[in-house]
C-alpha cells in the first residue's frame, strides 16, 4: 500500500514537472518570436529612417520629380504605422516600389549618381536590406519552431489550455519576389 502511494506521488510529480517544463518552453519560444520580430522592426525602422536622407539628397537634383518623392513619403508613412507582419509586408512592397521609381529617376541625373552623399546612402540602404533579410529569416525560423511546437502532441493540449496561438510569418508579396529592374 505504501509503495503504491509512492508510485502515484512519483507519477504525479513527473507529470507536473513535464507540464511546467513544457509551459516554460512555450513561454521561452513565444518570447523568442517577439524578440525576433523586434529585430525585424528595428532594421525596417533603420531603413525607413535612411529614406528621408536619400530623398533629400535626390530633391536637390530632381525638383520636378515631386510625384516620386511624394509616393516615397506616403509609403514610408504607411510603413511606420504598420502593426503586424502582414501590414509590414504590404507597406514593404509599397516602399520597395517607390524606391524602384526613385532609382529610375536617379538614372536621369548623372551628377547625382556620382554624388558622395547619394553613394553613401545607397551603400547604407544596401547593408540595411541585407540586415532586413537576415532578421526576417531569423524571425520566420523562430515562428516555425514555435508553431511546430504548439501543434505537437502533447504540447498542443497545454498550448490550447494556456492560449498559445499560432504566429504569423513575415511573407512578401508575389510582386516583391520579382527582382526590380534598376540600372545605373
The residues near 64 (Cβ < 8 Å, ≥ 6 apart) are none
With respect to residue 51, please indicate whether it lies within any of the assigned structural domains.
Answer: yes
With respect to residue 169, please indicate whether it lies within any of the assigned structural domains.
Answer: no
* Nearest Cα to Cα of residue 160 among 22, 31, 36: 22
Q: Is residue 38 scored above 80 in pLDDT?
A: yes
- pTM score of the predicted model: 0.67
The number of distinct structural domains making up the chain is 1
Residue 22: which CATH number? 1.20.1440.20
DSSP label of 1: -
Render pLDDT for 18-30 as a digit per residue (tens, 0 to 9): 999 999 999 999 9
pLDDT band for position 151 (50/70/90)? very high
With respect to residue 182, please indicate whether it lies within any of the assigned structural domains.
Answer: no
Of the two residues 11 and 44, the one the predictor is more confident about is 11
- How far apart are the C-alpha atoms of 19 and 14, rounded to whole Å? 9
pLDDT of residue 152: 94
Question: Domain limits at 28?
Answer: 12-162
Inter-residue contact 23 to 162 (CB < 8 Å): yes
Inter-residue contact 98 to 72 (CB < 8 Å): yes
pLDDT of residue 119: 76
Helix, strand or coil, per DSSP, at residue 97 = helix
With respect to residue 174, please indicate whether it lies within any of the assigned structural domains.
Answer: no
With respect to residue 92, please indicate whether it lies within any of the assigned structural domains.
Answer: yes
With respect to residue 167, please indicate whether it lies within any of the assigned structural domains.
Answer: no
Least confident of 96-100, 104-108, 162-166: 104-108
Select the highest-mean-pLDDT range: 88-97, 100-109, 131-140. Answer: 131-140
With respect to residue 135, please indicate whether it lies within any of the assigned structural domains.
Answer: yes
With respect to residue 3, please indicate whether it lies within any of the assigned structural domains.
Answer: no
- In order of 22, 39, 72, 73, 131, the CA distances from 138 in angstroms are 23, 9, 27, 28, 11
Amino acid at each position: 500500500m505504501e509503495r503504491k502511494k509512492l508510485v502515484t506521488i512519483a507519477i504525479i510529480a513527473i507529470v507536473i514537472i513535464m507540464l511546467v517544463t513544457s509551459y516554460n518552453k512555450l513561454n521561452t519560444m513565444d518570447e523568442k518570436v517577439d524578440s525576433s520580430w523586434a529585430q525585424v522592426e528595428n532594421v525596417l525602422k533603420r531603413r525607413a529612417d535612411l529614406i528621408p536622407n536619400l530623398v533629400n539628397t535626390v530633391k536637390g537634383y530632381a525638383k520636378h520629380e515631386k510625384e516620386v518623392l511624394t509616393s516615397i513619403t506616403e509609403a514610408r508613412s504607411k510603413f511606420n504605422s504598420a502593426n503586424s507582419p502582414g501590414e509590414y509586408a504590404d507597406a514593404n512592397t509599397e516602399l520597395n516600389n517607390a524606391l524602384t521609381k526613385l532609382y529610375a529617376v536617379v538614372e536621369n541625373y548623372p551628377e547625382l549618381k556620382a554624388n558622395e552623399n547619394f553613394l553613401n546612402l545607397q551603400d547604407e540602404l544596401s547593408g540595411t536590406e541585407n540586415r532586413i533579410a537576415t532578421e526576417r529569416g531569423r524571425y520566420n525560423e523562430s515562428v516555425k519552431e514555435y508553431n511546430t511546437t504548439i501543434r505537437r502532441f502533447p504540447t498542443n493540449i497545454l498550448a490550447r489550455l494556456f492560449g498559445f496561438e499560432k504566429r504569423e510569418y513575415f511573407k512578401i508579396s508575389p510582386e516583391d519576389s520579382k527582382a526590380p529592374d534598376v540600372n545605373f
